[in-house]
Structure 1
């Protein structure tokens, strides 16, 4: 993948040799208690305030969802194949940023975006664990290890958070087909196990904001290993299995953008239909409610 200055961004072809190590759900309660204790007495249990179940309840929550939601997951393979056949950009795991001219907007404003992330999203408990917000991430997101500060989620703006990051808001609202935007905050020593995205109709872009240099922080997308660079964009198809490591002593921060894949018909019709289904689904609506509850709880703490 090329950088704007003509040098090559670090993207290596590497074959996966070891299977993903999934966390033992039996340890969830101990981890949650340790994480809560480490925050000190000033902060209440925001997981309880938000109404979100503990991460260890992910499998039980999945069984309790409406049949139509679980059935939709089985249908997405068919939809993904139909969408891929209509794609106007390659279906490769890692894509060329030059196919997405608007990514220059992110690179040109990366320091401003980084400064707002530091001032707002990295302050206190402003950014909750992704496991708290998103039901579908509770099986892979360790308590307080992978945090998120949402600006947009599945086509829905988060007005309160956007108001706190006005310059970032102005930049992301210029992105064609914007679906989601949030600061993705990965704690030191974190491994996010192998997982995949919701639909081929969306493509993911990362803008590197804070990338530690005291070790290796990387992501595997299918059979490719990629590494972030501050001020640079990385575009990939998250319907390929991918996993992330932060093998450093510091926090990694990126602005994560999901946007609509450029499509011709009939793929666009299938993508729009499936995304309409997803936006109305229980897991998206629950995530929106959890963000609102979290923001209300944090406001009480004067964060």
Structure 2
């Protein structure tokens, strides 16, 4: 497998967004610090306690996998993550290999055309009011997402493996590392974690890895953090609508 150099357009985009990325990271650090002083829970969390609806997603993983594979048949039309969220160019366009995101809902903003192609997922999300975002994440062969941190702790990241390639030893070939702990998850397995802890992903295979990513409203926070989280979610929703993000395939 040979990686390609980022295109001139990608390189120019990365450079043009440097100042924006720095501002984004500065703001994210301030927000994380506010939460960190009030939350003391680990990186990986108990699913039964924090997101019991996960069992319904996991129970339907094969139907979700079929929907994801149908979507992936048009992979070239699915945007790369940095084409949707330019602030993430440093982790999405870092090595010339694709990380594509088929976004069906983002912070409560539904993208109806995309959601309509995945009726099983649409029904599950409709039954789970704490799910704010739902996307299929398609990681190209050889793609490495370098260590990074999410912006704030008011949401948790759900990660359901739908299509996992195997390495030469028959193990899952894509590794998710959260807070220094590597996870090689099988198809149908669900992990819930706080993505403000440093994490990275590495696909060492020659096949695409597909997972369902969910953003889940965090339960059990002090009232000041609940109010702050609501405000941040409203601001993000406004930003999505104002930006007019193009995600339909």
Scaled to the shorter chain, the TM-score interval is 0.7 to 0.9
| Corresponding residue of 2:149 | 196
Q: Which residue of 1 aligns with 2:39?
A: 84
Q: Residues 270 and 180 from structure 1, CA distance in 2 versus in 1: closer, same or farther, beyond 3 angstroms?
A: same
TM-aligned CA deviation for residue 252 of structure 1: 0.6
Q: TM-score, normalised by structure 1?
A: 0.71
Distance in 2 between residues matched to 1:199 and 1:116, nearest whole Å: 30
- The alignment covers a number of residue pairs equal to 239
Residue deviations 1:108-129, cap 9 Å, x none? 1111111011112342423221
Q: Structure 2: state its 5+ residue gaps.
A: none
**Other structure's SS at 1:54 match:** helix
1:279 to 228, 237, 245: 237
TM alignment of 1:29-68, pairs within 5 A: 30-32=5-7, 54=10, 56-63=12-19
| TM-score, length of structure 2 as denominator length | 0.85
- Name the CA shift for 1:72/1:145 in 2 (closer, same or farther; >3 Å): same
What residue is the counterpart of 2:48 in the other structure?
98
> Structure 1: which 5+ runs fail to align?
1-26, 34-52, 86-90, 299-303
**What's the offset of the Cα at 1:286?**
6.7
2:58 alignment partner, SS class: helix
**1:112-148 deviation line (CA, Å, top 9, x unaligned):** 1110111123424232211211112111113551111
Q: Is the CA contact (8 Å cut-off) linking 1:219 and 1:244 kept in structure 2? A: yes
Question: Separation in 1 of the partners of 2:237 and 2:174?
Answer: 32
Which residue in the other structure is 2:203 paired with? 246
* Greater Cα radius of gyration, structure 1 or 2: 1
Measured after TM superposition, the shift of residue 55 of structure 1 is 5.2
The CA RMSD measured in Å over matched residues stands at 2.6
Say whether the 8 Å CA contact 2:144–2:203 is kept in structure 1.
yes
Distance (whole Å) between structure 2 residues aligned to residue 96 and residue 170 of structure 1:
24
Counterpart in the other structure of 1:208: 161
